[in-house]
Amino acid sequence: MVAEFHVLNSSSFAVASWQTASGGAGAGLAAGDNTYTVEGGSVAVVNDLDHTGLLGGIEAFVVAEQRTGDIGAAGNPFRIDVDNSADAYFWHKGGAGCRVYYKAEGDTNLCNNYTHESAGASIFEGGTITNLYANAGSVTVGESTIVTNCDLYGTAAGTFEYNATGLTSLNIYGGGRSIILRREATIVVNAPITLTIDIDNETAPTMNLTVNNAGATVILKRCDTLATVDHQQGTVDLSKAERGINYGSTQHNRGPASVLIGFDDPRHTVAAATWPGQLRESGSPSPAPI
């Protein structure tokens, strides 16, 4: 196993920009069971970011808490696979001003695990992230990036641009942020957040939605079909939809603390709920029991 550290305030990820724990010259980014850490610095890293030629991925890449400078830039992301093992990870813990622009690219175009624990930002510009975890700051998943599973905790905000490959799971915990979803997903909301679903790039996107927090609001703008809905608490708002929605076509469960707004819009097909809840007509100031 190799452990190397980025030379403070170097603007490059070339070989000369890496050193050993004792301060000796490093060998630079190489595939295998290797860990690389950017410990600090305010100078943006914008040079020698393309490491797609490695035969295999690295084991770990860490951006430490004291880091404030960006890594990469829009259109010029850090490009490397992080998939030496199933547990291989990219861990962004940098400060509030630290933005990481990353593209999983190499012989597999894969990052097995990406954890965002920074008040800054992670911006993904391609490849596949198998597991994405975030509990602060913001994550932006671009159109060319596939994310298989995503867990959002704490105060993390997220934007998921359209991709034809949806999320197998999007689990939302914690609270106090806004999330925009423009691709299909199986969604579980367990937090007092605002989630806007706005998918306009498929003929009939089909989603599954669970809402189980009294402070949650899910706004449906564009989403042709919500096949399975388990709405225990919180609010689902159909009144802002830009086209008709087939709501709960396969299964529609609603708890007594759930509020559904805009069900009366004739464009929508709302399946009968198996449990009682509250319905609110579009524009109505207060819910009325079923």
pLDDT per residue over 223-234, tens digit each?
A: 999 999 999 999
pTM of the model: 0.94
Please indicate, yes or no, whether residues 30 and 141 belong to a single structural domain of this protein.
yes
**Is the domain of 201 the same as that of 235?**
yes
Residue 167: inside a domain:
no
For 114, the domain range is 1-148+157-161
> Do 96 and 235 lie in a common domain?
no
Q: 224 with 205: CB under 8 angstroms?
A: yes
Contact by Cβ (8 Å): 29, 48? no
Judgement on whether residues 12 and 139 belong to the same structural domain of the protein: yes
Residues 130 and 196 in one domain: no
The verdict on residue 19 lying in a domain is yes
Domains held by the chain: number: 2
Last residue of a domain, one of 161, 193, 212: 161
Same-domain pairing of 124 and 190: no
Radius of gyration from C-alpha coordinates of the chain:
22
Q: Are residues 141 and 44 in the same domain?
A: yes
Are residues 126 and 6 both part of a single domain?
Answer: yes
- The answer to whether position 283 is within a domain reads yes
| Amino acid letter, residue 38 | V
CB atoms near residue 17 (< 10 Å): 22
% of the chain at pLDDT higher than 90: 88
Contact 131, 149 (CB under 8 A): yes
Residue 140 lies in a domain: yes
pLDDT tens digits for 168-185? Answer: 999 999 877 899 999 999
**Residue 226 belongs to a domain:** yes
| Cβ atoms of 126 and 104 closer than 8 Å | yes
Q: Note the pLDDT of residue 109.
A: 98
Flag whether pLDDT at 90 surpasses 80.
Answer: yes
SS3 breakdown of the chain: % helix, strand, coil, rounded to 5? 0, 50, 50
Q: Supply the DSSP string of 107-121, one letter for each residue.
A: SS-EEEEEEE--SSE
Residue 290: per-residue pLDDT: 38
Q: Beta 138-141 vs 99-103: how paired, if at all?
A: unpaired
| 208 belongs to a structural domain | yes
Average pLDDT along the chain: 93
The reply to whether 133 and 47 lie within a common domain is yes
- Give a yes or no: residue 10 inside a domain: yes
Query: Smallest Cα–Cα separation from 165: which of 197, 201, 134?
Result: 201
Instruction: Decide which of 128, 161, 194 is a domain's last residue.
Output: 161
Percentage of the chain exceeding pLDDT 70: 95
pLDDT tens-place string over residues 136-146? 999 999 999 99
pLDDT in tens, 6-43: 999 999 999 999 999 999 999 999 999 999 999 999 99
Domain presence at residue 168 = no
pLDDT digits (tens, 9 = 90+) for 215-260: 999 999 999 999 999 999 999 999 999 999 999 999 999 998 899 9
